[in-house]
Amino acid sequence: MTGLDKIAECLQKARQVILSGHVMPDGDCLGSVAALGLGLMELGKQVTLASPDPLPELYQFLPGADRFLIGEEALKGTYDTFVVLDSSVPDRLGPLKELLVRDLVVCVIDHHVGNHDFGHFIYVDPKAAATGEIIQDLLDLLHVSSRVDIASCLYTAIVTDTGSFRYQNTTPLTHRRVARLMEEGVDAARLSVLLFEQKSLLHLRVLQAALQTLDFTSCGRVGWMSVTRETLDSLGAREEHTDGLIDYVRSLRGVEVALLFREIESGCWKVGFRSRGQVDVQQVASRFNGGGHLRAAGAVVRGEGEAVIKMVVRAVLEVMQGD
């Protein structure tokens, strides 16, 4: 593993930098890409912000959001350095994985536990609540001056990955970092409205449909909801309208493991896993070639809805029973 100062050194030498987070981008990866990208622009680098998948509408407000190149579009350019953020395996880069076989210097910065066996410079800090926390330090090392747009990107990264400072990953340092971001001009209340109080009606319609599928194991410790392709299509909803659904299950008293089954295409289910911390859902997800961490994981499972649910729930119960 590399020290963060080595990454800073590498970026100082770079000229044409492309930055990307993971497929199905979230606030941490987009905020981190935008913050570091804007910082590198200030240093006079030629910078390309990229994302394997389009930005969810929710994040269109992010400073720099309109500059992102999506998917293969980003492969056309010429770069000397590739910064991979918030991704522990190359597959998380979707089509941008192709950049890894080019003759580029690859820097990997992440806060997920994992092997991270790709890239030339690798910095991983699993104690960081968000990749955005690491980027804050990196920008300091790069002597990028305080700017409200960059601070807003970092705030977005941290507030989304900590669930508004509620998750276990939140540390005293997280709060001190956010204090500093607010002092740099972040309007936290405004960003909170943009991030948490601009739901589209489709979110509620999808929630309504999902609630009709809410079900539990007889012990009540495992709960789940599902959303079929047909439901999404009939509502005119997209996958992003299922974001956060799993939290409704996770927040129920007695539920230790929450599952969300989303049919991304006919017969192909994306399964989300959330745990309160007693059960390691990464272990369950890995049985289906998925990944994640103890409290949050995901996998893709093929099959007919009922059968997929039954199979995954059984796997959860097995892991719960220490099998």
Residue 37 DSSP one-character state: H
| CA–CA separation, 287 and 299 (whole Å) | 9
To the nearest whole angstrom, how small is the minimum distance from the Cβ of residue 36 to its own copies? 23
Which CB atom, from 23 or from 249, has the smaller least distance to its own copies? 249
| CA–CA separation, 17 and 286 (whole Å) | 33
Q: Residue 272: how many CB atoms within 10 A of its CB? A: 26
| CA–CA separation, 212 and 223 (whole Å) | 13
Q: Is 111 helix (H, G, I), strand (E, B) or coil?
A: coil
Instruction: Provide the terminal-to-terminal Cα distance of the chain, rounded to the nearest Å.
Output: 34
Which CB atom, from 67 or from 276, has the smaller least distance to its own copies? 276
| CA–CA separation, 25 and 59 (whole Å) | 9
To the nearest whole angstrom, how small is the minimum distance from the Cβ of residue 125 to its own copies? 18
Which CB atom, from 185 or from 267, has the smaller least distance to its own copies? 185
To the nearest whole angstrom, how small is the minimum distance from the Cβ of residue 218 to its own copies? 14
Which CB atom, from 4 or from 194, has the smaller least distance to its own copies? 194
To the nearest whole angstrom, how small is the minimum distance from the Cβ of residue 1 to its own copies? 27
Query: What is the arrangement of strands in the sheet containing 222-227, beginning at the earlier edge strand?
Result: 215-216, 222-227, 257-265, 268-275, 296-302, 291-292
To the nearest whole angstrom, how small is the minimum distance from the Cβ of residue 215 to its own copies? 11
Which CB atom, from 20 or from 275, has the smaller least distance to its own copies? 275
Binding positions for its own copies, rule: CB under 8 A: 163-168, 170-176, 178-180, 182-183, 188-189, 192-193, 196-201, 204, 207-208, 211-212, 214, 248, 250-253, 276
Which CB atom, from 42 or from 247, has the smaller least distance to its own copies? 247
To the nearest whole angstrom, how small is the minimum distance from the Cβ of residue 170 to its own copies? 6
| CA–CA separation, 277 and 28 (whole Å) | 21
The residues near 118 (Cβ < 8 Å, ≥ 6 apart) are 84, 89, 90, 100, 106, 108
To the nearest whole angstrom, how small is the minimum distance from the Cβ of residue 131 to its own copies? 19
| CA–CA separation, 134 and 110 (whole Å) | 8
Beta bridge partners of 274: 258, 296
To the nearest whole angstrom, how small is the minimum distance from the Cβ of residue 245 to its own copies? 11
| CA–CA separation, 193 and 187 (whole Å) | 10
Which CB atom, from 138 or from 206, has the smaller least distance to its own copies? 206
Which CB atom, from 78 or from 251, has the smaller least distance to its own copies? 251
